[in-house]
């Protein structure tokens, strides 16, 4: 994550060639947030939801190179700065530590 912080954006476009790809929420996505990067993704439902919910970046219209190019061509320094600030604001909530606590509470509730 430390090395990623040298950059401004993390880009992850994963075409839905399988069920797993369609619904993926890869570690790389969370690495981008922890590195305080702006995030650009394809319209994968879970990644797109988090990007929109937290204002982390942009969601390409589809999985094509043309759609990704359109997102990248529309970038401005101010927009990238805002996305990086949003990643910083969401980093704790989207951290492994926070997610582990959520899972722990859910499993504990099931067992009691």
The set of residues, in sequence order, having a beta carbon less than 8 Å from that of 92 and lying 6+ positions away, is: 98
Between CA 31 and CA 60 the distance in angstroms is: 19
pLDDT of residue 76: 98
**Number of domain units in the chain:** 1
Of the candidates 60, 62, 53, the residue with the CA atom closest to the CA atom of residue 87: 53
pLDDT of residue 82: 98
- Across the beta sheet with 9-12, the strand order is 9-12, 38-41, 57-59
pLDDT of residue 97: 86
Residues (pLDDT < 70) of the chain are none
- Domain extent, residue 93, equals 4-111
Between CA 53 and CA 35 the distance in angstroms is: 18
Between CA 30 and CA 6 the distance in angstroms is: 16
């Amino acid at each position: 994550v430390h090395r990623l912080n040298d950059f401004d954006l993390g880009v992850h476009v994963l075409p839905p060639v399988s069920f797993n790809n369609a619904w993926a929420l890869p570690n790389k996505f969370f690495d981008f947030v922890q590195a305080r990067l702006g995030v650009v993704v394809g319209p994968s439902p879970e990644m797109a939801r988090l990007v929109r919910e937290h204002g982390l970046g942009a969601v390409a219209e589809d999985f094509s190179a043309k759609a990704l190019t359109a997102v990248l061509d529309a970038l401005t320094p101010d927009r990238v700065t805002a996305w990086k600030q949003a990643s910083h604001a969401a980093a704790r909530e989207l951290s492994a530590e926070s997610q582990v606590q959520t899972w722990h509470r859910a499993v504990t509730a099931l067992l009691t």
